[in-house]
């Protein structure tokens, strides 16, 4: 009886999918859970910003200029007397929006190119990959600056520029996964049964290439937020008086000696949000690593 119970348990373990095992490992990963908590906090702040922020983030009051953190202004005020705490809260909305939209653009374009390139191969694969290699030969921020010089400054143009910059990463990762998946028995069986290419790519190849895409997406959002802040710091992203963290850093750099809180707190906000995405991304990477599923 005990032997039969052991065999049943063993079959149950083997029948579990990679997704089930990975999610269970994810729940046991304390650093990943910490990252999820950080992201939930920022998401709540962004959603309920009008209820949380004590002041209008754009309201100027020169009488309150350069006030240090106090009970009235928790994180102090800037050179225009605007409440930094309120601006950081509203800035969470903008930073999350930039991260998700920029990565969504690169996700759609990059995954599509990777799927087509990896599945069909040949001259099409060669053409797509050489273009991706050309884009990867430029540093990310330099390529973003080139695109911004064409599109012009602005927060939405920054999203497009960052989205284009990250396309090669997705294309190469997805292509690599497709080259492995398309040789599997279930793909060959679908081809033998006469399934069309679109059905095979979407139902069999894409769905079984999701793990690296999820990992890359989570990590890319954090990097996109940093790059967007960098563009705003250079004056190419969000324009004044938009309460964007990178723009707030740029405005506060001239007052680091007399009013360091103007630049310090937006920098801390960027670091915490990016840390949250990185912790979750690392958790997904560990959870989906097949070498750990024994």
- Residue 117 falls within a domain, yes or no? yes
- Residue 7 falls within a domain, yes or no? no
- Residue 14 falls within a domain, yes or no? no
Structure tokens at 189: 């069986």
**pLDDT tens track for 256-289:** 888 999 999 999 999 999 999 999 988 888 887 6
Mean pLDDT within 112-127: 91
- Residue 273 falls within a domain, yes or no? yes
- Residue 58 falls within a domain, yes or no? no
* Residue 17 pLDDT level (bands cut at 50, 70, 90): low
- Residue 148 falls within a domain, yes or no? yes
Give yes or no for a contact between 26 and 283, defined as CB atoms under 8 angstroms apart: yes
More confident residue, 144 or 25: 144
d(CA 286, CA 34): 15
Residue 203 confidence (pLDDT): 82
- Residue 275 falls within a domain, yes or no? yes
Residue 40 confidence (pLDDT): 95
**pLDDT tens track for 215-258:** 889 989 999 999 888 888 888 888 888 899 988 988 888 888 88
- Residue 15 falls within a domain, yes or no? no
Domain count, the chain: 1
- Domain with 173 in it: 21-53+75-292
Phi-psi bin for 152: left (phi > 0), alpha (psi -120 to 50), beta?
Answer: left
Domain holding 204: CATH number?
1.10.3720.10
Give yes or no for residue 35 having a pLDDT over 80: yes
Residue 144 host element (H or E): helix 140-151
Residue 130 confidence (pLDDT): 93
Residue 15 confidence (pLDDT): 44
What's the predicted TM-score (pTM) here?
A: 0.85
């Amino acid at each position: 009886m005990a032997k039969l119970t052991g065999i049943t348990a063993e079959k149950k373990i083997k029948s579990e999918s990679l997704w089930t095992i990975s999610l269970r490992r994810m729940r046991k990963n304390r650093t990943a859970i910490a990252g999820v908590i950080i992201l939930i906090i920022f998401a709540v702040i962004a959603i309920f910003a009008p209820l949380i922020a004590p002041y209008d983030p754009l309201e100027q009051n020169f009488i309150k200029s350069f006030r240090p953190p106090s009970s009235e202004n928790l994180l102090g005020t800037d050179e225009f007397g605007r409440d930094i705490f309120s601006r950081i809260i509203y800035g969470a909305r903008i930073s999350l929006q930039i991260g998700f939209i920029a990565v969504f653009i690169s996700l759609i374009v990059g995954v599509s190119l990777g799927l087509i390139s990896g599945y069909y191969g040949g001259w099409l694969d060669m053409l797509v990959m050489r273009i991706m290699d050309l884009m990867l030969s430029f540093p990310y921020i330099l390529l973003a600056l080139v695109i911004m010089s064409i599109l012009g400054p602005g927060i939405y143009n920054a999203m497009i520029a960052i989205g284009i910059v990250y396309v090669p990463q997705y294309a190469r990762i997805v292509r690599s996964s497709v080259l492995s998946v398309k040789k599997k028995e279930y793909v060959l069986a679908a081809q033998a049964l006469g399934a069309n290419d679109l059905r095979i790519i979407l139902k069999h190849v894409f769905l079984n290439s999701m793990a690296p895409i999820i990992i890359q997406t989570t990590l890319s959002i954090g990097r996109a937020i940093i790059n967007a802040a960098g563009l705003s710091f250079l004056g190419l992203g969000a324009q004044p008086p938009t309460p964007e963290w990178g723009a707030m850093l740029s405005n506060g750099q001239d007052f680091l000696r007399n009013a360091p809180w103007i630049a310090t707190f937006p920098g801390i906000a960027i670091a915490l949000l990016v840390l949250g995405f990185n912790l979750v991304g690392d958790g997904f990477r560990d959870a989906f690593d097949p070498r750990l599923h024994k």
